[in-house]
A and B are shown apart, each in its own frame.
Chain A
């Protein structure tokens, strides 16, 4: 008999909290690296959701999706870091507010 695992609702609450923390992080943080970390947090909240539902339905579809999300998140981090490096070379700063050439 496997050890009892928490209910799906518990996982949903965890992922909802993580997602909210990530979203707030993107909005209030001004450092690009921290913003990137907050975005990764949002992606991982989604992964928890998908795996929890996948377990509940006893279908692998959600877990397969999780693998894809992790892969895409890695690509996204690579692109994001490349842009941050270029921004640093041009502006000597990775503060989001420093980039204000375009008025908007």
Chain B
């Protein structure tokens, strides 16, 4: 390990040391200092974000953007996603603040686990070898299992953790078996070496089986049909800020790693897996959206909606072209911020630990909190992909990519299903604006306002003026695009 490697890994080193220190804070008698826990976490995230930006400039100076024997890359794609993850975790920290204060559980461990999950996601998105990807994935998953069961005296939370753990562990086993078969056929675990080996190998059954198992494991992490059964239960049972984490940062991490593996390693093998993934994508969109219609619990409704969104994101992966890769980047960002805004609004309605999560709870919100009801409408429109919100730009890229790649039927289905999704998003709007609300109190605290306002600005601004985002996505996807031979070779 050289100094070069240390600089590459600096953000991950900082966040893991910081998370360990957060874990030690209660030992030195700071257990009751809950406000300092929040601020320590936010400062830690700020330092990490600055380090990521600093590293990205430093890395541009040297020709080779990989380190640790080619296992770790700090390309534009990784930096783009790392900054999304850090921002999302910072917002989840703000969302958790009041929620945790009322719940009497220790906050230091909570933030520490969030930090470790962030470290795992950041390491995973930089992974250039299936080893580093797997390690990052497991660090993220193990932290998520504990966080889902963090309210350990609640039966719902513990049950959610149990279901998430059993299905998550099985899916990592399946993913690993797939990886071992790919290793057996290609003789390497490095993504670029696998890509090179596959360009000369004729398709065989072991390889096909391995890729399918790997895809199944990844589909579980991004909750695509038929690997979605855990999603509604876990989302409902987990503490609401953790549900926000699972449905935004954790999901974006799954999109990113799916894209990285399939674009870098399996691009020469597209014909064999794209039809299977197209079926999974179609099923996710149909089943996710149709099941969401009948839900009365907002957390379950958003869980099914997130299954449908996994289906949309898969469009960008199966199309395997420049539009698709940029679409995955843009869509992840747009999806994360629209969803975090919705979770902030859901938390404003909370009256006790599991309150504020039925559709009825939204009744009359337009009179109780007109501005936040309006913000909620914008977030819902963004998830539905209606202009002038940012969600439209994301879906535009994904659908255009699918059409360009010859998956026209899938794009048509996606548009139809977006229309269906507007039906249940509008159910919330109707409840907010047209129903007489009971005079229930809303807890609109400063941290929730900050999160909702930031998400609102991002969603509207990028919807009206998307050029900077599109340029950034083009720039960030350049390295992977060149390796996957979907755009002309450009620089490093």
Contacts and interface: CB of A to CB of B under 8 A. Distances in A.
Interface of A: 8, 12, 15, 19, 22-23, 26, 32, 35, 39, 42-43, 45-46, 49-50, 52-53, 56-57, 59, 61-62, 64-65, 68-69, 72, 75-76, 79-80, 82-84, 86-87, 90-91, 96, 99-104
B99 interface: no
B149 A46 contact: no
A59 B187 contact: yes
Contact of A83 (B134, B165, B181): B165
B66 interface: no
A90 B158 CA distance: 9
Interface in B163-179: 163, 165-166, 169-170, 172-174, 176-177, 179
A48 to B, nearest CB: 9
Contact of A45 (B158, B169, B177, B179): B177
B458 interface: no
Given A32-B162, A45-B177, A90-B155, 10 more contacts: A26-B170, A39-B169, A42-B177, A50-B180, A52-B184, A61-B188, A65-B130, A101-B156, A102-B233, A102-B237
Nearest to A61: B189
A17 B283 CA distance: 31
A80 B165 contact: yes
Given A46-B177, A53-B180, A68-B135, A39 B170 contact: yes
A50 to B, nearest CB: 5
Contacts of A69: 134, 176
B233 A86 contact: no
Nearest to B157: A86
A83 B177 contact: no
A87 B135 CA distance: 27
A83 B166 CA distance: 10
Contacts of A62: 180, 183, 189
Given A49-B180, A53-B184, A75-B138, A86 B237 contact: no
Nearest to B161: A83
Chain A binding site: helix, strand, loop or mixed by DSSP? helix
B180 A83 contact: no
Contacts of A56: 184
Contact of A101 (B159, B169, B179, B189): B159
A83 B145 contact: yes
B173 A39 contact: yes
Nearest to B159: A99
- In this complex, the interface size class of chain B, counting residues with CB under 8 Å from chain A, is 35 or more
Nearest to A65: B131
B294 interface: no
B142 interface: yes
12 contacts: A15-B180, A39-B166, A46-B180, A49-B184, A50-B180, A56-B184, A62-B180, A65-B134, A79-B145, A83-B162, A90-B153, A99-B162
A80 B169 contact: yes
Given A39-B170, A86-B152, A64 B131 contact: yes
Interface string B218-250: 000000000001001100110000000000000
Contacts of B184: 8, 12, 49, 52-53, 56
A87 to B, nearest CB: 5
Interface in B137-155: 138, 142, 145-146, 149, 152-153, 155
Contacts of B298: none
A66 B176 CA distance: 10
A76 B169 CA distance: 8
B152 A102 contact: no
A46 B156 contact: no
A104 B189 contact: no
Given A64-B131, A76-B138, A19 B233 contact: no
B189 A65 contact: yes
B375 interface: no
A104 B233 contact: yes
Contact of B163 (A22, A79, A99): A99
A1 B439 CA distance: 86
B131 A79 contact: no
Given A49-B180, A65-B189, A90-B155, A72 B232 contact: no
B160 interface: yes
Contacts of B188: 59, 61
Contacts of B166: 26, 32, 35, 39, 96
